[in-house]
Structure 1
Amino acid sequence: MKKINILTSILVATALLTACEDDRDSNPTIQEPTTFVLNTPANATSNVYDLNQSKNIELTCTQPDYGYPAVVTYTVQADLTDKWTDETETADASYLTLASISTSAKVDANTQELNKAIVKLAGWTSENDYDGEPMSVFVRLYAHIGDKGYPIHSNSIELKVIPYYMDISDAVPATYYLLGDFIGEVPWGNPTMAAGTAYFPMSLVKGYAYDANTGKGEFTYTGYIPADKGFKVVAVPGTWDDQWGNADSEGFTNLVNDKNSQNIKVNAAGWYTLHLNTIENKLTMKATTFETQPTEYDAVTLTYGSESVDMTKVTMEHSHVWYADITIAASCKAKFTSGDKTWGGEVFPFGSFVDGATISCKPGDYTVLFNELDECYYFKAK
């Protein structure tokens, strides 16, 4: 019997070793591609694309060679000069990236997005800026796997197009504000105070496309909420007709958009995440855990052009929200810093953080709101 047991153990160990070797064999080795080809459409040399009369321009490419059949994400980029210069501290990039993405080697370039990029790159401010003649636009593909891993650009191709003037100023996301017992220097404070002293906005959801006409969409906030401290979410600080609270009694089990609602309140202090969809008119809230506690910064500086200001942290336990009132005299680049940490973005006057980017700001008086945990910023015009 002992011999049989020993033989069985050997067979089991051999099977396990073989299985481990099979697992190793099935795990691909990722290689970094050096090039991939965007094909020129068959009729590109003789055809002129009327961007106002079509929905998409079909583009095809050879998939970058990652050493295995990877799921690749593609986005289309457009440049009027074919120079493809990146953004610097003093100048914008010569190209723009279209919003739509594809995981197929057949990529549809959305003509409305392409037209919007052309209008912005050309700097058109009215219909008089465009003479109606066909013009060239150069496009290329940006590809990566996973969370922007192993990024690579294709070659560029030239397309002849007839664009059209369009108003490219989108509606500012119509977010809601948090205010209550534990928020700010003056809880439930006077709404005429600057944002930050008594209330602050929910954050944008990174990568979400907000309605260009209404500003409606999805918003979020993750923060530490103390026990038995009530708060609400409102559209306009100081008015209570459009507000979110809990139905019937204080809590967060039945959140409703109702001016007669009760305060939102938790029994157990901790980290929570709120998610608001203003299109579906739905607010949810749930407890959140972290593998490691978020870094709490002692100071954050906002630099805009040659000016800088030390931001003020919103008064809360474990606060990650900052604010400052500034006047921007001329168009400039802006970024947020704390020690060696830097945050920037690609959109003004609101946006989510983009590594390595700086924010192109316009002149005006602003209250700047900055949430380094949710990775969001607002330049709110006064």
Structure 2
Amino acid sequence: MKKIFCLLFITSLLFTSCKKKFDTPEPQAPPAVSSYITIDSIIKRYTAYYAIPPGKVYKFTTDVNVVGIVTADELSGNIYKSVYIKDATGGIKINLTYSGGLYIGDSIRINLNGVKLNSYGMQIQLDSINLEKSVHKIATGLIVKPRKVTMNQLATINPLVSQLYYQSELIQLDSIEFDNGAKNVTFADAVGKGSISHVLFNSFGAKVILRSSGYANFAASTVPCGKGSIIAMVGQYNGAIQLTLRQLSDLSVSSGTCPVYCKSFNDNSITNGGWTTQNVVGSVNWVTSNAGGAPNYYASISNYPSNQTCESWLISPPFNLSNNINPMLNFQNATNFTGGSLTALISTNYSGGNPTLATWSTLTYTPSSGGYAFVSSGNISLSAYKTNNVTIAFKYIASGSAATWELDNIAILDY
């Protein structure tokens, strides 16, 4: 019995001595401090280094630090593996090696040793920052306020660095509205996870793009139809300004009145939705295009380079306006060069095929002044056509060298 007890005791000691001991990890020391640099100095360093393509990416090689407050984080899913920070001199995008850990209102210090300074589409960024090794959180819960700007100010270029002056800053735009092609559709493709661009404009017609990710928690929400304000981060993709929402609550727009109907061409199709084309003379066709850096597709027609004589129609499906109170037509149009014409027409007896067999009335609209600048047609009253079988058409006529015309967001409104 004693032998058995001794054996059990020895065995117990062996198992006890073989148990693995886990040491409590020591708190990681904050990243080293050698010197500090401001955000505007980082941007100037980028400009100086990349003035002549160097063949390799700039990388910091000393313990220089930048201190800033987080102005945008990843919580909504509209921003991924990155945050934005600001100091008294400007803002900059921070790309992270992994997500999480930084939130709006955090004051942080970043050791830039080993960090890359580069850009994507002219958006300057600090790249591949490791949160554990390079970032020290100084404080949390600080109040972050946007800078109120106008559309014209938003487009200002900083002459010192040839970038947008407000790039990577949190701004607020007032008295804005989404264009008719965006109203009452989703912010992004929540099913396919695709990003979508929508156009915002102000009362003077100035425009800017709002781009949203299909991974945003508001991707499936519908774009409001009224007017209001937006708080967003300023991005730049080559020559275009792109705004990014931090969260849906940063958009304060009234519900408004949505279009009864809108043909936006965003699906890259001329004829979807029952639209047709008819070539009465020649073979010049209406096509979709997104040339010129447009955020979405639009309809376009030109007899260049053939310069052939043509009469080409773009014709809507029939509408029933019997129950509308004050129906109006509104569309965006742009042109460039001279010659030829684009006429807006309406009919109540068109039944398909050759449009010259129907009776058409001309609709007066505000035309683009040229330079491919899109303008609103203005609201064109359709009160005289409150019936069924109402068809809208656009007739392009050209002979020899003629203008290019573009159309977008052909909408029927009812106010």
Decide: shared fold, TM above 0.5. Answer: no
Bin for the TM-score computed over the shorter chain: under 0.3
Decide which structure has the larger Cα Rg and report it: 2
